[in-house]
Amino acid sequence: MFDKHDKEAPQATAAIFRVQGNTAITQVPITTTNHPAQNHQSTTPLVKAEISTNNISRKSIAKDDIMIETLTSEQAASHEVVPCTHQLRTNLEEGLTTAEATRRRQYHGYNEFDVGEEEPIYKKYLEQFQNPLILLLLASAFVSIIMKQYDDAISITVAVVIVVTVGFVQGRNVVDMFTIGVSLAVAAIPEGLPIVVAVTLAIGVMRMAKRRAVVKKMPAVETLGCVTVICSDKTGTLTKNEMTAQSIATPEGKLAEITGIGYSPDGGVVQYQGELVQQWSHPEFARIIEAGIVCNNATIEADKLIGQPTEGAIVVLAKKAQLEGVRTQYKRLREMPFSSETKWMGVQCADTQGQTVYFIK
């Protein structure tokens, strides 16, 4: 301790920090000048300066009895300036001394970062293919090749290459690029677009209905909006929807002409080489007419057709050949209706003698 009459402050020549409990004790060897009232010289008296270290969390590392104090920025900011500067062995005005900087550099080493070798570009590009989504797409392309769907395989491969390349150039992850692509696709299609399209097509259907045109499928209205010329056949569309048989051809090459128009048999006849074909005068033509009238579901009453126009034309033909009564000679047992797949109609009948007869049209 110093006498209160000492006029000169001690000058520290060295410092050693030791920690005891929660108190940092600084022991400073000093050299003092001779006091007139005292004839002795204190060569190495120790002055103890206590610095409270409560609530200061620091990491102290000892080397050669030298304590290396470390504080985080948050810890240093929460305490007073002077204790922090003492702990960190620095000066607010001059900073670290050359000796302190040298000591720290010898202990910690130079403030350098370890920089490894730069990874080749091709490796960075190939790393993009390690994403599970990209691997799944490549597997789909491989399956398409096995199934000989080369167009799909090429499309998938090109899409993967584009996504990976863009992601590599922009430095983004493949998943991020895929998410961005989906987001752009969603943003490009307005949420209310389907409703607007449906309403627009419905308005087009209503306009067509006012012109007596029935539209069964709304997308057809969109197609009609781009049409400049409409071509249509006239059979049953622009006329009376009536059909007339004009000739009969046999497997032997015989051809009979039929006169008359419409569903009225008046004035109409069947002729073969100038001869009238009536009832069974010409069996080759009569059998054809018989099959057509028996295998038939149409009827004509007061020149009005009940049934299909094609079958109605055959009924009128039978009347012109005076064979309309043939249908009453058979009892229908079974019917195989006409279909677009088979393109024929058949009936199973029993004649007056009970024998089974089949007719196909």
For CA atoms 189, 195, 198, 200, give the dihedral sign.
Answer: negative
Letter for the amino acid at 339?
A: S
Distance, in Å, from the CA atom of 58 to the CA atom of 150, rounded to the nearest integer, reads 67
Q: How many CA atoms lie within 13 A of 162 on its CB side?
A: 8
Per DSSP, which regions of the chain are E strands? 11-12, 16-20, 23-31, 46-52, 59-63, 66-70, 247-249, 255-258, 270-272, 275-276, 299-301, 304-306, 331-336, 346-350, 356-360
Nearest to 271 by CA among 242, 293, 246: 246
Mention every residue, 6+ apart, whose C-beta is less than 8 A from residue 45: 1, 10, 29, 30, 32
Q: Phi-psi bin for 115: left (phi > 0), alpha (psi -120 to 50), beta?
A: beta
> In degrees to the nearest 10, what's the CA dihedral of 311, 315, 316, 319?
170
First-to-last CA distance in the chain?
135
Mention every residue, 6+ apart, whose C-beta is less than 8 A from residue 219: 201
Residue 273 burial by Cβ neighbours in a 10 Å radius (0-12, 13-18, 19+): exposed
Q: Interhelix angle for 309-320 vs 283-294, to 10°?
A: 140
Q: Is 65 a catalytic residue?
A: no
Token readout for 56 is 């200061």
How many other CB atoms sit within 10 Å of the CB of residue 142?
13
Find the catalytic residue in 64, 151, 233, 266.
233
Nearest to 316 by CA among 242, 239, 224, 253: 242
Distance, in Å, from the CA atom of 86 to the CA atom of 208, rounded to the nearest integer, reads 94
List the catalytic residues: 233
